[in-house]
Structure 1
Amino acid sequence: MKNYYGSLCTEMYEILHESAPGDELNFYLSYAEKGMSILEPLCGSGRFLIPFLERGFEICGLDLSEEMLAKLKKKAPQAKFFQGNILEYESKEKFDYIFISSGSVSLFTDIDVCKKILWKMKELLKPGGKFVFAVDSIKDRCEDDEEYKTSIEVKTKEGFDLVLKGKNRFDEETNTQYSPSVYELYRGSELLQKEEMDFQTHLYELGELEPYLEEIGFSKVTVYCSYEKEIAQNNETNMFLYECSL
C-alpha cells in the first residue's frame, strides 16, 4: 500500500523523529485552548499528540498504520485514538480544532481523494472551528535518480543496522513526486527483514488549494510560509501552512 508506514518504516521514523520540532509544535499549539476538543488525523506515533496531552489538552488521534499506533499506545497508554481510514472515520463529536502536521496532506496524491478529505475535515468541525494543516511545496522537489541509493542508515536499540534505500522521479504533469523506498534490517551482513514502500507526495503551488477550500465552505483561508506565520507570497518555500476557519 502506498504511503503506508510498516514495521521497519515505523522503526526508522521513531529513531529519526523521537520528538516534534519545537517551532512546528509551537505553531500547532498556538491554536489550542484549554477546554477545546481537538482532533489530529494522521497522528502517527504521537510526536505531536503526546505533547498536547502533556499540556492538558483534550485531544484524539486517528491513523491508518497499526504499527504507528502501537508505538503511540506504548508511549502514552492514556491516549485516545482510532485506527482506520480517515475517510471512513465517523464521530458524533464535533471538534473545535483539527490539525494535520508535517505535510501529511501531500500524501494524498489523488486530488479527488484529497478534496474528500478536506470536506471530511470541514464536516468534523464545530461552527467557528479551525482546521490547520501543512503541505509540501513545489520547491521541495528532489532530483530524479536512475538507481536506488542508500540515503539513511541507523542503529536500532538491538544493535541491528536499519538501512533506507530510495530513488525519486518527478511527474511534471501531475506535480507528483514518486519515491519508492526499500527498508532493510541487518545483523552484520545477514539480511533479517526487508520492507518496500511506494512513497508518493503531491507538491503544491501557491494558489492551488485555496479554491478547493473556499468551495468546501471555509469562510477564511490564510496561507503561511513559516511557523512564525509569515504570509506566503510565492513558491519559494518548502511548505505551505493553511489556517482555515468556518
Structure 2
Amino acid sequence: MEKVGEQRQNYYGSLCTEMYEILHAEAPRDELAFYLSFAGKGEKILEPLCGSGRFLVPFLKRGFDISGVDLSEEMLEKLKQKAPAAKVVQADILEFAPQEKFHYIFITSGSMSLFTDIDLCKEILCKLKDLLLPGGRLVFAVDTIATRCTDDSTYKEAISVKTKEGFDLILKSKNHYDEQSQTQFSPGIYELYNGTELLQSEAMDFQTHLYRFGEMQQYLQEVGFREITTYTSFSKEIALDDRGEMFLFVCRC
C-alpha cells in the first residue's frame, strides 16, 4: 500500500490482514467476473496491490499467466499460503521493476483511491502505463464522493469478528472528510482479545481520495491513456455522474 516518507499510510498489518481475511475470504462474484472479462489466455497479466490474493488466486486457478505486487508482507504471506507457486513480489509499485511488460493490468476494490496525494497518483498511473505493452489494457476502480462517511469525534466499535483461535478481533474507527482535498480520513485501532485480556493492538492510518465525475478521466488523459471508458457498476453501466459509489475505468495505452 502507500508509503509517505517514513510513515506507512494504508499499510495492512497483521491484525488488519487477519480481519480482512475473515471478512473477505473470496472475491465477490460480480467483481471477479468483471475483471476476468478483460483477460485473455496466453497474455501476461499483472495485479498491483494484490493483497492476500482473493482475485489473483482465482485467475491462477483458471489458467491465466498472472503476477502480483504488494507492499504488505503480511498480506503476501496469506497469499502464498493459498498459492505457494504464485509469482508475487513485495515492493512499492513505483519501485517495482519486472523484466517483462504486460497485456493487462488491473487493480480491484477501489484500491487506487488509497493514493490520496494526486501527484503521487499520477506518478503511479505513469508507472502502470510504462508497464503495459502497446495496446495494453489498464482496468481499475476508485471510490466516489457518494461514499463519504459521517464525521465522528471519537473512536467507535465498527466491526467485531472471531478468529480461528476463538479470540475476539475488534476494529474501532472514526471518520473525518476534508472537503478541499476530497480525502476521507478513517483512522482505526485493531484490538485482539482473549476474553477481557488485550493480547495485541495495532493502529492503521486509513485514508482514501473520493473522486468526482470526470476527475480521474482528466488524470488518465494527462499521462497519455486513450480509449477511456468509465463504468459505474460491474454490469458495465456507463457512468454519467458521481452519484454511484464507484467508477470503473477501462483504458488503453
Q: TM-score range by the shorter chain?
A: over 0.9
SS at 1:105 equivalent: helix
Count how many residue pairs are aligned between Structure 1 and Structure 2: 246
Matched, 1:134 2:145: no
Aligned mate of 1:105, from 108, 112, 117: 112
Q: 1:7 and 2:7 equivalent?
A: no
Q: 1:214 aligns with which of 206, 213, 221?
A: 221
Structure 1 equivalent of residue 79 of structure 2: 72
Supply the AA of the counterpart residue of 1:173. Answer: Q
- Amino acid paired to 1:135: V
How far the C-alpha of 1:222 sits from its partner, in A, is 0.5
Distance 1:162 1:30 in 2: 36
For 1:114, the equivalent position in structure 2 comes to: 121
Residues 141-195 of structure 1 deviation map (CA, whole Å, 9 limit, x = unaligned): 0000011000100000000000000000000000000000000000000000000
Pair 1:41 & 2:61 matched: no
Structure 1 outlier segments of 4+, above 6 Å? none
- What is aligned with 1:17? 24
For each residue in 1:75-123, what CA deviation from the matched residue of structure 2 results, as whole angstroms up to 9, or x when unmatched?
1101110001000001220100000000000000000100000000000
Are 1:164 and 2:134 counterparts? no
Root mean square deviation, CA, Å: 0.5
Cross-structure match for 1:149: 156
TM-score by length of 1: 0.99
Q: Which amino acid aligns with 2:80?
A: K
Matched, 1:86 2:93: yes
| Cα separation, 2, equivalents of 1:7 and 1:211 | 36
Q: Distance in 2 between matches of 1:12 and 1:91?
A: 31
Please give the secondary structure, in 2, of the residue aligned with 1:209: helix
Aligned counterpart, 1:225: 232
Q: Which runs of 5+ in 2 are unaligned?
A: 1-7
Aligned-partner SS, 1:229: coil
Sequence identity (%): 66
Is 1:62 the counterpart of 2:55? The answer is: no
SS in 2 for 1:121: helix
In structure 2, distance between residues paired with 1:103 and 1:219: 21
**1:243 pairs with 2:222:** no
Match of 1:15, as an amino acid? I
Distance 1:225 1:104 in 2: 16
C-alpha separation in 1, matches of 2:9 and 2:206:
6
Report SS of the residue matched to 2:123. Answer: helix
Output one character per residue of 1:17-45: Cα deviation in whole Å (capped at 9) or x when no partner: 00000000000000001001000000000
Q: Does 1:198 align with 2:205?
A: yes
* Aligned equivalents of 1:209, 1:153: Cα separation in 2: 34
What is aligned with 2:5? none
2-structure distance, mates of 1:95, 1:142: 36
1:26 and 2:33 are equivalent in the alignment:
yes
Letter in 2 for 1:142: C
Out of 52, 57, 60, the position equivalent to 1:50 is: 57
